[in-house]
A and B are shown apart, each in its own frame.
Chain A
Amino acid sequence: MSDALLPSEFSDLEPFAATWCLATEDERYQQRLASTMDEMQAFYDAVVPRADAAMTYCDQFPLDDLPGEARNLLYLLFSMVMVSFPVEAFGQPHIPDTGAAYLDCLVAPGP
């Protein structure tokens, strides 16, 4: 599939790529807030068993010079971390009792 976002070894995660391969912390956080728990649980259940292999795959390359597909895979892993808080801890997209608060991420390291 020529339009795949992820390396072919991780084609099983391709159904989640368009939604969760997001380059910035803010995009990933907004996607979390816009998702249902069912959607995030499905993503989490699919990606967690593959995460160790995905990190090993990315570590074939220098972090500052990842090929595009490997970078997408890492973005997918960052999204896995992003959804882990609701999935593992409190069962709702937004942090409990934080309706009026926000913290904008203005600088984050690459890739």
Chain B
Amino acid sequence: MARWPKPEEGSWTEHYGLSTAPVSYEDSISPEFYELEREAVFKRAWLNVGRVEQLPRTGSYFTKELAVARTSVIVVKDKDGGVRAFHNICRHRGNKLVWNDFPGEETSGTCRQFVCKYHGWRYDLDGALSFVQQENEFFDLEKDAYGLVPVHCDVWAGFIFVNLADEPEQPLREFLGPMVTALEEYPFEKQSERWFYRATVNSNWKLFMDAFQEFYHAPVLHGNETPPDWSIPAQQAGFEAPYYGVDGPHRLVSTAGVHPWNLPQGMLKPMEVLTRSGLFGPWDVPDLGPNARPPGLNPAGCDPWGLDSFQIFPNFVILVWGQGWYLTYHYWPTAANQHVFECSLYFVPAKTARERMAHELAALSFKEYGHQDANTLEATQSMLESRVLERFPLCDQEVLCRHLHEVTAQWVDEYKKQRENAEA
């Protein structure tokens, strides 16, 4: 007996017009498909590269390595307070412009202008070439024609996006669509206390997206992180989401919550009681102001409400917790069977040691669970590559996994058609 009503079609999968047949994961093991994805997805979609809090003042910058597009971008706050992005390459001899010690590592800081380490060419914050070392040695050099190569860049709700296409097919807001932009008023900016985790994971990027867009796995894979009084009934009950959303290439899963402070002590760990916190966040919800629950959140009207996880195509997740904090995930492909996973956790800055302790337990709980998810992916990738099996059955709680792979295939097909038309 379902605990939550299904759509009238009988399943979320059919409600969103998706196939119910077993699926192929060829798209997660094929180097050829990965090459297509790089062009069709990562050089056409808007990609989130950070938040405005990372650029606090004029001249603040950070670099972002985009191995999937074989480039690096500089993101900077210009003199007018706008955010700009450039390919991280000097116009003179092609040296990477901004880096420290290790050319392949990301960096950040504040500067008045960008100076190339190689021959000292300088660029203003708006990308204009401002100084050439021994300029009179050059031949007819028009400095105006040698500014940094711009990358399309736009900001939504404090999230900075870039688009590597010559001309993006849609403006950012239109790309994000109404399901995501309904979050716009949520007070992300008040939650500036940040944890940032990163790992290289030996799996295709979509497999980790899949791991965090279904919770069917949660009572099983993470059972040993909770006391038996919690984990045994949780596994017996299984997981059901009250709501799944799909809007264009983007997805949403919403869950019901619990009030841990009302649970029998045997279901909780002593540290949760001591710090009044846990995986789902601090028990004491901070004051997020009047926009703590914009219309886009808690679509099933759960009380208590657990979380909404917005899966923003292609590789970005915003997960808003009912307990008044949020996190983001990024999955940056580096090969068909490898990606860099990044997670940022954001809280209203702790004012007391007690509040800070609640954040500490939430952050470390994320790390515990995240390890288990990441490790499992390597086990999945290696066996998918055996090609012993070609088709895998997905249940209705895995509807979003199905959607991601279908959307990715659609983008690749569209790209192939565009390319054929251009050649014809």
Which chain A residues have a beta carbon within 8 Å of chain B's beta carbons?
25, 29, 48, 51-52, 55, 58-59, 63, 66, 74, 77-78, 80-82, 84-85, 88-90, 95-109, 111
Among A58, A85, A101, A106, the residue within 8 A (CB) of B196 is A106
B210 CB to closest chain A CB, in angstroms?
A: 16
**B168 interfacial by beta-carbon distance below 8 Å:** no
Bound CA span A95–B373, Å:
11
Interface pairs A-B: 8 shortest CB-CB: A58-B353, A107-B196, A101-B375, A84-B271, A101-B374, A98-B371, A98-B375, A88-B269
Chain A residues with CB below 8 A from B355, complex form: 63
Output the least CB separation between A69 and chain B (Å).
13
Partner of B197 from the list A84, A96, A105 (CB cut-off 8 Å) is A105
Q: Check A103 against B367 for contact (C-beta < 8 Å).
A: yes
- Of chain A, the residue at the smallest CB distance from B193 is A109
Q: Which residue of B lies closest to A109 (CB)?
A: B193
**Which residues of B are found within 8 Å of A55, using beta-carbon distances?**
353-354, 357
A/B interface sample: 28 pairs, CB < 8 A? A55-B357, A58-B352, A63-B353, A74-B353, A77-B353, A81-B271, A81-B360, A81-B364, A84-B269, A84-B270, A84-B271, A84-B361, A85-B364, A85-B365, A88-B227, A88-B269, A89-B225, A90-B224, A95-B225, A95-B368, A102-B199, A103-B197, A103-B199, A103-B343, A103-B370, A105-B195, A109-B194, A109-B195
Q: How many angstroms between the C-alpha atoms of A72 and B374 in the bound complex?
A: 32
Convert B333-352 into 0s and 1s, putting 1 for each residue whose CB lies closer than 8 angstroms to a CB of A: 00000000101100101111
Bound form: Cα–Cα A109–B345 in Å = 10
Query: Is the CB of B372 closer than 8 A to any CB of chain A?
Result: yes
8 Å CB contacts to A: which residues of B157-216? 193-199, 201-202
Do A107 and B195 touch (CB < 8 A)?
Answer: yes
12 extra interchain contacts, Cβ-Cβ under 8 A, other than A95-B372, A97-B372, A105-B195? Answer: A51-B274, A58-B352, A63-B352, A63-B355, A81-B364, A97-B376, A98-B375, A100-B202, A101-B372, A103-B374, A107-B195, A109-B195
Give the shortest distance, in Å, between A90 (CB) and chain B (any CB): 5
Q: Using Cβ atoms and an 8 Å threshold, which residues of chain A touch B269?
A: 84, 88-89
Q: Say if the beta carbon of B356 comes within 8 Å of chain A.
A: yes
Are the CB atoms of A59 and B195 closer together than 8 Å?
A: no
Does B24 have its Cβ within 8 Å of any Cβ on chain A?
no
Contacts of B196 in A (CB 8 A): 105-108
> Which chain B residues border A77 with CB–CB below 8 Å?
353, 357, 360
Contact assessment for A106 and B197 in the assembled complex, using a CB-CB cutoff below 8 Å: yes
Residues from chain A with a CB closer than 8 A to the CB of B403 are none
Chain A residues whose CB sits within 8 angstroms of the CB of B406 once the complex forms: none
Minimum CB–CB distance for B263 against chain A, Å? 15
* Assembled-state Cα–Cα distance A46/B353 (Å): 20
Contact in complex: A63, B350 (CB < 8 Å): yes
- Report whether B194 and A101 are in contact in the complex, using a CB–CB cutoff of 8 Å: no
Most buried by B among A66, A74, A78, A103: A103
Say yes or no: is B124 at the interface (Cβ < 8 Å to chain A): no
Q: Does B378 sit within 8 A of A, measured CB to CB?
A: yes
Question: Taking A59-B354, A109-B350 as contacts, is the C-beta distance between A90 and B371 under 8 angstroms?
Answer: no
B359 within 8 A of A: yes
> Smallest Cβ distance from A1 to chain B, in angstroms?
24
Q: Could you tell me the distance between the alpha carbons of A48 and B269 in the complex, rounded to whole angstroms?
A: 12
**Is there a chain A Cβ closer than 8 Å to B71's Cβ?**
no
B271 surroundings in chain A (CB, below 8 A): 80-81, 84, 88
**What A residues does B349 contact at CB under 8 A?**
109
Residues of chain B contacted by A109 (CB below 8 angstroms): 193-195, 347, 349-350, 356, 359
| CB of B100 to closest CB in A, whole Å | 14
Minimum CB distance partner of B231 in chain A: A89
User: A88 to B376, alpha carbons, bound, how many Å?
Assistant: 23
Residues of B with C-beta under 8 A to A63: 350-353, 355-356
Q: A residues within 8 A CB of B195?
A: 105, 107-109
Contact among A59, A74, A89, A111 for B226, CB-based, below 8 A: A89
B275 adjacent to chain A (CB < 8 Å): yes
Contact A48 B372 (CB under 8 A): no
Contacts of B378 in A (CB 8 A): 100-101
Which residue in A48, A85, A105, A111 is a CB contact (below 8 Å) of B225? A85
B17 to chain A, nearest CB (A): 36
The CA-CA distance from A81 to B269 in the complex, in Å, is 11
Q: How far is the CA of A89 from the CA of B272 in the complex (A)?
A: 12
Docked CA distance A5–B274 (Å): 24
Residues in B neighbouring A66, C-beta threshold 8 A: 353
Alpha-carbon separation in the docked complex, A90 to B275 (Å) = 20
Contact B198 A104 (CB under 8 A): yes
Residues of B contacting A99 in the complex (Cβ-Cβ under 8 angstroms):
375
